[in-house]
Amino acid sequence: MSALRIAAAGLALVVVTGCAGVGGRPGAPAVSAITAGLPASTLGANDIIEVRVYQEPELSGLYQVGPQGDIMFPLCKKVVVSGLTANGTAEKLRGCLSEGFLRNPQVSVLVKEFNSRKVFVFGEVQKPGTFAYEDGMSVVQALTLAGGFTKQAAQNSTSVTRHVNGQEVKMKVHVQDIALGKAANFKLEPGDIVYVPESMF
C-alpha cells in the first residue's frame, strides 16, 4: 500500500485494543493513551496521522485528513475523523475493523502534524509566519510569537480573518487598547489569520 511519507515529530499516541489480544491472550485495557504533554486536540482537514494495526502492515501507514474531514482507509473506505481526538479515531477504526474484517484488532493512532490547528500572523510584525495553535490562545499571544510589532505597525488596525460557515469574516482588533487594558483580549481559533497593516502616519 502506498503511504504518504511525511517526516514530522509525533504529538500524541493512542492505542486501542479489544478485550483480548491476538489468539485470545489477555490484552491491554480497552483504551490507553500516551501523550507528549499536549492537551487532547481534535483532528481537522490537512492533519497527518499514522495508523498502525498490529500484524497488518497493509493497513498501517500515514493518512492525511481530506477537506471533508475524512480519510480513505482500506476495508473501511471513507472514515470521517474530523472532530475526533486520536483516541476517538483509533476507537472508530477498531470498531470498523471488528465488523467482519479482523478479530480483536489492535489499533494505534499517532498524530504527526496538526495542520488544522495553526494560526497565521503577517504584516507589520518582526517574524511573520505560521504558529501552532494552543487552546485558549489570544491575539496577544500570537503577536508575541511573531516577535511583536514593527515601528510602522498600525496596532489598533489589526485584523483577524476567520472562516465561519464557509465564509470569510474579517474582524478588527484594537490590540493597543488591549495592551492598555481598555479592551478585552481577543481569543483566536484554529485557522485564524492575523494581519497587522502599516500605519499611515
pLDDT tens for 168-192 read 899 999 999 999 999 999 999 988 9
* pLDDT of 10 strictly over 70: no
State the residue for C-alpha cell 477537506.
67
Query: Mean pLDDT throughout 186-200?
Result: 93
Q: What is the residue-wise DSSP string for 2-41?
A: ----------EEEEE--SB-GGG-B---SEEEEESS----
Domain regions of the chain by residue span: 12-113, 118-196
| pLDDT for res 40 | 53
- The pLDDT tens digits of the residues spanning 15-59 come to 444 433 333 333 332 322 322 333 457 898 889 999 999 999 999
CATH superfamily of 118-196: Outer membrane lipoprotein wza domain like (3.10.560.10)
Please state, rounded to an integer, the average pLDDT across all residues of the chain: 81
Query: Mean pLDDT throughout 92-105?
Result: 94
| pLDDT for res 13 | 44
CATH superfamily of 12-113: wza like domain (3.30.1950.10)
Residue 192 identity (one-letter amino acid): D
How would residue 119 be classed by pLDDT, with cut points 50, 70 and 90? very high
| pLDDT for res 63 | 97
